[in-house]
Amino acid sequence: MGVSDEDITRAVNFVIRHRGGLSLVHEGHEEILELPVAGLMSTEDGYQVAQKYSEMTAAVRTLGSRLKAPYMTLSFMALLVIPEIKLSDQGLFDGNNFTFVDLFTQSKNKSH
């Protein structure tokens, strides 16, 4: 998570450097909940992981997020099988029709 494009880029690269996890970057401050097992799970004690997750969620809220579970929201946005429009590494995906959205064709058809 980050507030600016630069912070978000740093947050993504921070996760890559740690081989998985949840990150928060803001004005030079970097935090990570490392999830080194397949980039999704931790080898740490569950109570410690839960504490770190709660702390990072609270920090994201102080930066202005109004989401109840900002990290969980981002995690589910990447699941292309959940209906409606999703953003993937290959573009927008329409989960209802199970197809990628061709924005070029749509904008071209609307202009006629």
Residue 55 has pLDDT above 60, yes or no: yes
> pLDDT > 90: what percent of the chain?
38
Task: State pLDDT tens for residues 60-109.
Answer: 999 888 888 888 887 777 676 676 777 777 778 887 888 888 876 554 44
Angle between helices 46-62 and 70-77 (to 10 degrees): 100
- pTM here? 0.68
Query: Which pLDDT score, from 0 to 100, does residue 39 have?
Result: 81
| Mean pLDDT for the chain overall | 84
Map tokens 């992981």 to a residue.
49
